A and B are shown apart, each in its own frame.
Chain A
Amino acid sequence: MYAFEYRRPASLAEAVSLLSQAEEGKILAGGQTLLPTLKQRLARPTELIDLSKVPELKGIREDGGALVIGAFACHAEVGASDLVKRRIPALADLAVHIGDRQVRALGTLGGSIANADPAADYPAAVVALKGTVKTDLREIAGDDFFTGMFETALNPGEVITGVRFQAPDKAAYAKFRNPASRYAIVGVFVARFGNEVRVAVTGAGPSVFCVTDMEAALAKDFRADALSGVAVSANGLNGDIHASPEYRAHLVTVMAKRAVEACA
């Protein structure tokens, strides 16, 4: 790890200010990806701005029919939250299956979506649950937030403060894990809002995406069998030693069916 300055602001305003003044600042929001990257000397920030003491990023609350989860909520906190378990149990279930116990104790919602790892779990929830990403400057629709592999709509220096998730009638997340890393090779988040169904897929492509054919099929008939004829193209999907694009495409259908079954 290269040397860096460590900062721990006590307010959002201070955090934003420190970030704007930093030569090459990096936000530390749990650090479960950043710290291994630093240890391997693959990144060389001049300053790490630790958001752990910023009160504006904390907490989980109801907001009308939605849930607003602070950017600094760690995965274990989301998974254990009675409010999340009551309002969007599928989201709590997703959180308790991220990484391992140590990752869940430190990794945060904001850190995860800002990093936009193609195999991360939260992006599927943000999109499927019609999430809105709140920052210090604005609100960004979940559909517009993830723009590519490790890329988001965030501007330099912009800080995520939280995410507003809509509470669906039914939802479930089904993940096929990479046996080594336990990241999602394919994760499918299915959410039903009245007659509207969302099917968001993480792990399979460079970035989270919706399978509109599946959404249409499920809107008509919300049963796993409705997906039997809906194939996903392997074009543009990720391929590595663990799973080829064809296999990932196949798994999208399998996991989508399992998610629909889990909604029952």
Chain B
Amino acid sequence: MANPTGIGASVRRREDQRFLTGRGTYTEDIKRPNQTHVHMLRSPYAHARIRGVNAADALKAPGVVAVFTGADMAADNVNSLPCGWLIHSKDGSPMKEPPHFPIARDKARYVGDIVAVVIAETREQAKDAAELIDVGYEDLPAVVSLRQAVDGSAAQVHDEVAGNLCYDWHLGDAAAVDAAFAGAAHVTKLDLVNNRLVPNAMEPRAALGEYDPATGEHTLTTTSQNPHVIRLLMGAFVLGIPEHKLRVVAPDVGGGFGSKIFHYGEEAIVTWAAKKVGRPVKWTAERSESFLSDAHGRDHLTHAELALDKDGNFLALKVSTLANMGAYLSTFSTSIPTYLYATLLAGQYKTPAIYAEVKALFTNTAPVDAYRGAGRPEACYLIERLVEIAAREMGIDKTEIRRRNFVPAEAMPYQTPVALQYDTGDFAKNLDMALPAVDYAGFAQRKAEAAKRGRLRGIGFATYIEACGIAPSNVAGALGARAGLYESAEVRFHPTGSVTVFTGSHSHGQGHETTFAQIVAERFGIPIENVEIVHGDTAKVPFGMGTYGSRSLAVGGSALVKAMDKVERKARKIAAHLMEAAETDIEVKDGRFTVAGTDKSVGIGDIALAAYVPHNFPLDELEPGLDEQAFYDPKNFTYPNGCHVCEVEIDPDTGVVSVESFSAVDDFGRVINPLIVEGQVHGGIVQGIGQALFENCVYDEDTGQLITGSYMDYCMPRAHDVPSFAVSWHEDQPCTHNPLGVKGCGEAGTIGAAAAVMNAVIDALAEHGVTHLDMPATPEKVWRALNQSRPAMAAE
């Protein structure tokens, strides 16, 4: 009988009991004796020279413990926050990496840049005192938008970075692309904006720094997706604290979506300041601080052209993208519009020639980095918009043009012209599953029925493929990654047979405490109640890279399997000893070790006891204990893929778009917990719908002030904005190069959804001559598209 809590079971998330009953422990919940509070004084200017910081009055204010500035950090040799991926420009020169100090020194470069910090007995006292600090700002002209940044006459964010250009990178075969365009029967062109987004994790960022003078040990508790990465970056590059004296803990974390991967200045500030003041220092962002200072996502301007032959076969794709880095390089910012975007531009199609150029630019805005999907939603949106425009221009059905160009399943493994090698995928099957599920044949009837009600109905498709579990480390290193990309796991059997797993992955909503336990339960034939998953503490778990890019199961799960393999190898030897049989005669199934052809067997629990109470144990051959560790470095990326279909209706009187249905057919390889996978897909789809219809981060182009600085103006999707989703998948294309056959599911919904929604919106508007709209498709934008003679929007 299958293990009821093993692989494939929809086990309810074990962690939800504590989350839903308010018993989680988040960073802000941790209150240390004698703890102080730090307030970050942030620049109100987008670009200003700092002539001086006078904190004399603030230091006299009630409850104030200390005020620190960039000069204080400089005096202690605190360094710049490092960037984790070096990109080289077309000409071979390395990208420009201007320093990014936790507290600004010479200039403030975005609204929200930290210029001083106040430490006080209470948060309110720190804020009161911060108002008494006199910062001598000299306001400078700001560079806000990408268009401004590339304008040669624009101001410079960093004096040493000419033209605000971080790098000018390219990928692919330009000559082959030009040749293909020269012979094309049709060329589809598109200019698009990939709108800037604010991540909005439910829990705002927080950090608590502690220093123990008795041991010289620093502890940082922080809202991180990858505590070891923070320890490495902050310890080795910023503060100069050796790893054995620096512990980083990421306890319960309430959502990240990428925004909590990065090493932020506030983490370095509380860690450094805790030693300076000799007391714990706590910082918790207010929501408006999150808007200003969390790394934002997306923000591309792109021109793209697709060349086709007369039958609609794709011949070549040419892409030119401007990517906004914001004011400084956040940890993985530089890799997002390059190795996580341009390498995905083949999509599911066998386009033979692709060339992409990406210019990364500095602006006086918050740093931009990975946000759920990270480069891949941008690639998917670009490709899938182009494909639908091409289909319409050439009079080919939008599903047919895709089918003609799919990489066929039998062509796997498939080498794309943009560096990736897809291992598995049956894209036609995804589409074949989707079409009846969405009743594509009945769409015309639904559209006609909607028209009777005065509504415009549209259907949009998006196929996507993503590259997850970035690896192998040596290849990533050759491409500029400054870190390894493996994962770790330790499987510790206890004497009476229960298990603690230490994983380098980090759960901040993904449900690892359930899913990872299911994998162990399945392997050893035990209930998940006997398995504890420990993560998020560098003092407990082996060095791990954390959770991002849908990597946990594919990489961390594989490390877990490797560690279990080691446990089993040792257990087999112990079993052979206990049953006085040859090791080669031992058969293992569901945690029982049997001598082949006999009824002699021992369970893993008995073996664990023998390992820790080694009275009858092969001590001359084996060490006692049953505790194994493994690191796993993947051979390749994994390639989740799928087909998303959306139907919308538009009220032409108001321009309001309503999402009527959304269906997703996905290939995630093998699925461990269907319930959790479905939840991941649901959340991802909502975020994709959010980008398509609601979310837009807007800075004032003149002043660089963040206009959408709260939920009054930044529109998050709400439950009633979305329909019930139809989510399905197949498992017959498992990943070929990891032991579980898993591909990852965390970002898929976000990657496909925005393109599917926008294709549906444009489909609904097509009869009115609309060929493209930029996201988000807000009511006024849609209404104007329907009434194109009207003057331009006053406020844009």
Q: Taking beta carbons and an 8 Å cutoff, which residues of A are in contact with B?
A: 1-2, 40-41, 176, 179-181, 183, 239-247, 250-251, 254
Contacts and interface: CB of A to CB of B under 8 A. Distances in A.
B26 interface: no
A180 B795 contact: no
A1 B122 CA distance: 13
A245 B715 contact: no
Contact of A254 (B124, B653, B794): B653
A105 to B, nearest CB: 19
A245 B288 contact: no
Contact of A243 (B711, B714, B780, B790): B780
Contacts of A40: 288
A41 B712 contact: no
Given A1-B124, A40-B288, A247-B780, A181 B712 contact: yes
Q: Which of B124, B288, B696, B794 has the most CB of A within 10 A?
A: B794
Contact of B712 (A1, A180, A247): A180
B141 to A, nearest CB: 22
Given A179-B694, A241-B708, A246 B654 contact: no
Contacts of A242: 713, 778, 780
Given A242-B713, A246-B790, A41 B127 contact: yes
Given A40-B288, A243-B780, A246-B791, 11 more contacts: A176-B654, A179-B778, A179-B779, A180-B708, A181-B711, A241-B708, A242-B780, A244-B795, A246-B790, A246-B794, A251-B654
The 3 A-B residue pairs with the shortest CB-CB distance in the complex, in nearest-first order: A180-B715, A244-B794, A181-B712
A247 B131 CA distance: 40
B42 to A, nearest CB: 13
B711 A241 contact: no
B711 A180 contact: yes
B783 interface: yes
B648 to A, nearest CB: 15
B796 interface: yes
Interface of B: 124, 127-128, 131, 288, 653-654, 694, 696, 698, 707-708, 711-716, 778-780, 783-784, 790-791, 793-796
26 contacts: A1-B124, A41-B127, A176-B779, A179-B694, A179-B778, A180-B694, A180-B708, A180-B711, A180-B713, A180-B715, A181-B712, A181-B713, A239-B795, A240-B795, A241-B696, A241-B698, A242-B713, A242-B778, A243-B780, A244-B780, A244-B795, A246-B790, A246-B791, A247-B779, A254-B653, A254-B654
Contacts of B654: 176, 251, 254
Contacts of A41: 127, 131
Contacts of A179: 694, 715, 778-779
Nearest to A247: B780
Main secondary structure of the interface of A (DSSP, over half): loop
A180 B778 CA distance: 11
Q: Which of B288, B779, B784 has the most CB of A within 10 A?
A: B779
B310 to A, nearest CB: 43
A2 B131 CA distance: 11
Contacts of B791: 246
A244 B795 CA distance: 6
Contacts of B708: 180, 241
Contacts of B790: 246
A98 B195 CA distance: 30
Contacts of B716: 180
A242 B712 CA distance: 11
Contacts of A183: 712
A40 B124 CA distance: 12
Nearest to B696: A241
Contacts of A239: 794-795
Nearest to B695: A180
Nearest to A240: B795
Contacts of A246: 790-791, 794
Q: Which of B131, B713, B714, B784 has the most CB of A within 10 A?
A: B713
A245 B794 contact: yes
Nearest to B124: A1
A176 B780 CA distance: 12
Contacts of B794: 239, 244-246
Contacts of A240: 713, 795
A186 B784 CA distance: 17
Contact of B793 (A244, A250, A251): A244
B324 to A, nearest CB: 18
Contacts of B778: 179, 242
A168 B698 CA distance: 43
Nearest to B791: A246
B204 to A, nearest CB: 14
Contacts of A244: 780, 793-795
Nearest to A2: B128
A180 B714 contact: yes
B289 to A, nearest CB: 11
Q: Which of A40, A176, A243, A247 has the most CB of B within 10 A?
A: A247
B718 to A, nearest CB: 9
A241 B124 contact: no
A250 to B, nearest CB: 7
A179 B782 CA distance: 14
A92 B211 CA distance: 58
A106 to B, nearest CB: 18
B80 to A, nearest CB: 32
Contacts of B288: 40
Contacts of B783: 247, 250
Contacts of B780: 242-244, 247
A105 B288 CA distance: 24
A176 B778 CA distance: 13
A250 B716 CA distance: 25
Q: Which of A241, A243, A245 has the most CB of B within 10 A?
A: A241
Contacts of A250: 783
A183 to B, nearest CB: 8
A251 B288 CA distance: 31
B715 to A, nearest CB: 4
A120 to B, nearest CB: 13
Contacts of B795: 239-241, 244
Nearest to B796: A241
A242 B783 CA distance: 12
B286 to A, nearest CB: 8
A117 to B, nearest CB: 11
A240 B712 CA distance: 12
Nearest to B776: A179
A40 B778 CA distance: 28
Contacts of A254: 653-654
Nearest to B717: A179
A40 B131 CA distance: 13
B306 to A, nearest CB: 32
A148 B778 CA distance: 29
Nearest to B131: A41
A179 B779 CA distance: 9
B702 to A, nearest CB: 14
Nearest to B783: A247
Contacts of A247: 779-780, 783-784, 793
A183 B713 CA distance: 11
Nearest to A1: B124
A179 B127 CA distance: 32
B148 to A, nearest CB: 18
Contacts of B698: 241
A149 to B, nearest CB: 16
Contacts of A1: 124
A250 B790 CA distance: 11
A51 B285 CA distance: 32
B704 to A, nearest CB: 15
Q: Which of B654, B711, B715, B783 has the most CB of A within 10 A?
A: B654
Contacts of B714: 180
Nearest to A186: B654
A256 to B, nearest CB: 12
A240 B794 CA distance: 8
B783 to A, nearest CB: 6
Q: Which of A41, A179, A240, A250 has the most CB of B within 10 A?
A: A179
